[in-house]
Amino acid sequence: MSDAAKVMRRCDVLAACTEEPGGITRRFASDAMGRAHQYVREWMLEARMAVTRDNVGNLRGRYEGAGKGTLLLGSHLDSVRDAGKYDGPLGVMVAIAAVQRLRDAGKRLPFAIETLAFADEEGLRFGSTYLGSRAVAGRLDAAELQRIDADGVTMAEAIRAFGGDPGRIGDDRWTGERPLGYVEVHIEQGPVLEARGLPVGAVSAIAGQSRFEIMFTGEAGHAGTVPMDRRRDALTAAAEVVLAVEAAASTEPGLVATVGRLDVEPGAANVIPGRVSFTLDVRHPNDRTRASACEALLARTRETARRRRLGVEVRAVSERASVACSPRLTKLMGEAIGGRALEVASGAGHDGVYMSEITDVAMLFVRCKGGISHNPAESVTEADVGVALDVLSRFLELL
């Protein structure tokens, strides 16, 4: 079996590690993640890596080099709800395969390679993103540990149940010399490579993003008896905001804004919605444009609440500036690609956002069918994965 075929098969194996049968959902510190770790640990060991798991739950495989310095490779193993197979796992599998190649050739590079399989990038379980890479960058605050998931479990409890010590998250921080870089292979999640007929591309930058949790509180009441002019319906207010978000993003070039989750309470056909909470995700390559878009949308949200006599609470969940990839490493990635090396900007967030705080970052995108991701229809070809693996191996040689 070719190396690329093996990567594909391993992504299939990980897809079966899910909390929801019939689909892929693998949240931070879940049993499904635990099962995925058993496989990934085995594969790291097979490539002769020394494997450890840190407190937050990142799996780390280290392949020593002949000299000093460490290059970090990685991606994440958690997923969104009803996910595809490749967003995250592909990058971890390609990294392990690249190390396996070195091992099979009996080769040690002048530097060590540490493969990081991050515990959380999507933020599905606790609403707060990049938990894995934030711990490595030393940016996971103790206050975050009190966040609760949908079942009322705190992050600290989840970490403990998964085998980590929440009191020692600080130990997960990278403390050695500054790494030589952090390199991530990831599906593009966009249509550019496919449109250009290219299997892979180097990434120029990762767009910034802001996330909010918003709650409207009105008054629940009888759907048959409360006259329309006396209602304080939290859902109709939220509907207004959802459409305003779409309109704002449709008129500002480069802006994308999404309400991806909406919870209606009490949630019955014959009850006026008394409370609605929803998420807002706003992104733009330019940080100032993103900030002013957020300001305008939140002002619109508050105005809606006032006009409709509702209570409103806005909680900023996360805010990250856009991150430029390292020109030096990206140029090297271009050389490793050879020929037509296109640079693509990423609208999706990646662990490189936080890794950029401790080292230089480079990314390699792999073409995906229709640019589709965060969807079970995510698809990459074995041939393209083979190209990505060759490029990463060449990158390691060039470095």
Residues that bind Mn ion (CB under 5 A): 87-88
Partner interacting with residue 208 (select from Mn ion, ligand GLV, none; CB below 5-8 Å by kind) = none
The minimum distance between CB 187 and Mn ion, in angstroms, equals: 8
Residue 348 is a binding residue for ligand GLV (CB under 6 A): yes
CB of 341 to ligand GLV, least distance (A): 24
Q: Distance (Å, rounded) from C-alpha 38 to C-alpha 25?
A: 17
Nearest approach, Cβ of 89 to ligand GLV (angstroms)?
A: 13
Question: Which CB sits closer to ligand GLV, 180 or 282?
Answer: 282
Q: What are 185's two structure tokens?
A: 């292979």
The CB-of-67 to ligand GLV minimum distance in angstroms stands at 35
Q: Is 349 in the site for ligand GLV (CB under 6 A)?
A: yes
Structure token pair of residue 130: 């990049």
Q: Which of residues 197-256 bind ligand GLV (CB under 6 A)?
A: none
Three-state DSSP class for residue 181: strand
Looking at the Cβ atoms of 132 and 199, the one nearer to Mn ion is: 132
- Min CB(319)–Mn ion separation in Å: 18
91 binds ligand GLV (CB under 6 A): no
Distance from C-alpha of 326 to C-alpha of 248, rounded to nearest angstrom:
32
233 binds, among ligand GLV, Mn ion, none (CB under 5 to 8 A by kind): none
Q: Which residue is nearest to Mn ion (CB)?
A: 87
Give Cβ neighbours of residue 207 (< 8 Å, ≥ 6 apart). Answer: 283, 284, 285, 322, 345, 346, 347, 348, 349
Binder to ligand GLV among 3, 78, 122, 188 (CB under 6 A)?
A: 122
Binding residues for ligand GLV, how many (CB under 6 A)? 3
Q: Is 355 in the site for ligand GLV (CB under 6 A)?
A: no
Looking at the chain, list the stretches that DSSP marks H as alpha helix, in order from N- to C-terminal side: 3-15, 31-46, 89-104, 131-137, 155-161, 192-196, 234-251, 287-307, 327-337, 352-355, 382-398
Q: For the chain, state the CA radius of gyration.
A: 22
Query: Which burial class, exposed, middle or buried, applies to 370 when counting CB atoms under 10 A from its CB (0-12, 13-18, 19+)?
Result: exposed
- Rounded distance between C-alpha atoms, residue 16 and residue 132, angstroms: 22
CB of 57 to ligand GLV, least distance (A): 18
Nearest Cα to Cα of residue 306 among 240, 388, 396, 254: 240
Nearer to Mn ion, 87 or 281 (CB): 87
Q: What is the Cα–Cα distance from 280 to 261, expressed in whole angstroms?
A: 8
For ligand GLV, the closer of residues 216 and 278 by Cβ is 278
17 contact choice in Mn ion, ligand GLV, none (CB below 5 to 8 Å, kind-dependent): none
The entry of ligand GLV, Mn ion, none near residue 349 (CB within 5 to 8 angstroms by kind) is ligand GLV
Closer CB to ligand GLV, 122 or 149, in the complex: 122
Minimal distance in Å, beta carbon 193 to ligand GLV?
A: 17
Tokens of 310: 């509702």
Nearer to Mn ion, 204 or 236 (CB): 204
Min separation Cβ 32 and ligand GLV, Å: 18
> How far is C-alpha 196 from the geometric centre of its chain's CA atoms?
25
Query: Residue 169 has which token pair?
Result: 């998250």
Structure-token pair, residue 381: 């070809």
The residues of the shown chain that bind ligand GLV, judged by CB under 6 A, are 122, 348-349
